[in-house]
Amino acid sequence: MATTSTLLLVGGLVLLVGTAQAQASLFAPVVTYPAGSGPRSLAVADINNDGKTDVVTANQNGNTVGVLLGNGNGTFQAVATYSTGAASNPYDIAVADVNDDGWPDLLTANYGSNSAGVLLGSGNGTFQAAVSFATGVTNGAPTSIAVTDITGDGKLDLITTNSLGYSISIFAGSGLGSFQVPMSYPVGANAAPLDVSVADLNSDGRPDAVVASAGSNTVTVLLGRGGNGYQSGPYSVGMGASFTPFGVATGDVNGDGRPDVVTANSGNNTVSVLLNQGTGLGAAASFQSAVSPVNIAVADLDLDGRPDLLTANPGDPAIAVLLGNGNGTFQPFVKYLSNTGNQPTSLLVADVNGDGRPDVLTANMGGTVGVLLNATGKPLAVQAALPGATATLHPNPAAAYATLTLGGLPALVAQVQATLLDATGRAVRQYALAARQGSARTEVPTAGLAPGLYLLRLAALDAAGAPAGVLPTQRLSVR
């Protein structure tokens, strides 16, 4: 790859400005699918319990959510839409089982109606009528929604960023699909909080809220305090007057085991990296992106074991990829253009065709979902399937644990290695099962995992530790 780059010092921050040329493409050409009017954000889950990844969108202009059922090979069926309410203008969407019935539900941040919306799932790909819960903040205009157990009672709660209310709202869940009157927490005068990510920054076992505040050019952190929401007095890290952070994500980008914070800065076309020091966030180091980055994700796109960054850039329109060096720094960005007329405003990473590689999906304000299948040239290890071998996970979806039961194992199998992968293809947990008389059984704990869809890969070994074949990969839904 031929590159040119320049180091600039802007407001005390190191800015790496670069252009990249002549790099082998990470992705196949984008394929788009109609999703409704003005899809602003998207999420993935197995909506109809067929073992295939589906896509849902928040359609800002259409006052709907769009549901595109997956075919399992990276293609999707025609969209079905469900109303979120008149003039609701949903900006963001999340998927979680909020009524504990085993079916994924849809949650929306409704900018126009100043509310959080809930569409309970039926388990077959359809949803009940939307129910709204007001943010409790005058002119709140929520733009982002996250789902986690904030109160520590085992029930899922909601967080919204209230862009015009300069606050976040916490909706404590009942476990039945309804929510209490929310509590609001200010994030700063004129902060304009636009996006939120949830992670345990201080390693106390409680989810913290990390907010991108575009109006104040800061990242604001609200530390969790267990049964009573968040601690008073959030702390903020300034980023410079022209940054305007629109999007935020968390992930360990330097390999020290702590979640770091990254932002998409629409004001100066950069991404910023704030490394977790254990006692707080360090100063922002910034790297050039494409035009107007508004959303950001962390994933190992090229399968080299190092986290990469990618942004949605409606100003180009394109997505930009910054390959990671593994130490919290990143290479110059490479653009992947979207189809003419589409403006990507949100993106995520998931394996939608079952090849074990992380693919990228975008929500495009032009009315589509874009799918970029991963085309990295690294071949996956190919092993023969074990004939007659079976694997089951129960319960699925799982709240605390799932029991993995294997049967029909050949006599040569002495052990089975189980690897749990998240939607980005990152290994989050590993287990070893001893095989006895052709079977094996273990519990797969899910406590501490973010709600969503995971893959469990199963590889058999003989007594000498040599590969002996593979079992069918299992999909596990964590709620």
pLDDT tens string 366-423: 999 999 999 986 544 556 788 888 999 988 888 788 899 999 999 889 889 888 887 6
Residues whose CB falls within 8 Å of the CB of residue 94, separated by 6 or more in sequence, listed in order = 43, 106, 107, 108, 145, 146, 147
Q: Do strands 13-21 and 2-10 pair parallel, antiparallel, or not at all (unpaired)?
A: antiparallel
- Residue 164: pLDDT band by 50, 70, 90 thresholds? very high
Exposure of 140 in the CB half-sphere (CA atoms within 13 A):
32
Residues whose CB falls within 8 Å of the CB of residue 114, separated by 6 or more in sequence, listed in order = 134, 135, 137, 139, 140, 141, 142
Report d(CA 298, CA 348) in Å as an integer: 9
Lowest mean pLDDT across 103-107, 177-181, 268-272, 442-446: 442-446
Encode pLDDT of 352-365 as tens digits: 998 888 999 999 99
Question: What is the pLDDT at residue 355?
Answer: 85
Contact (Cβ atoms closer than 8 angstroms) between residue 311 and residue 319? yes
pTM, full prediction? 0.81
Residue 345, classed as helix, strand or coil, is strand
Report d(CA 30, CA 348) in Å as an integer: 14
Contact (Cβ atoms closer than 8 angstroms) between residue 146 and residue 158? yes
Going by C-alpha positions, the residue among 390, 354, 349 that lies closest to residue 42 is 349
Report d(CA 241, CA 238) in Å as an integer: 9
Which amino acid is located at 393 in the chain?
Answer: L
- Residue 463: pLDDT band by 50, 70, 90 thresholds? confident
**Averaged confidence pLDDT in the chain:** 89
Burial of 308 (0-12, 13-18, 19+ CB in 10 A): buried
Q: Residue written as tokens 């800065």?
A: 265
Question: What is the pLDDT at residue 77?
Answer: 97
Contact (Cβ atoms closer than 8 angstroms) between residue 215 and residue 241? no
Question: What is the pLDDT at residue 383?
Answer: 65
Whole-angstrom CA distances from 448 to 401, 417, 429 are 11, 21, 11
Domains of the chain plus CATH, in order, are 27-372 (2.130.10.130), 390-478 (2.60.40.1930)
Report d(CA 146, CA 159) in Å as an integer: 5
Residue 316, classed as helix, strand or coil, is coil
Contact (Cβ atoms closer than 8 angstroms) between residue 98 and residue 118? yes
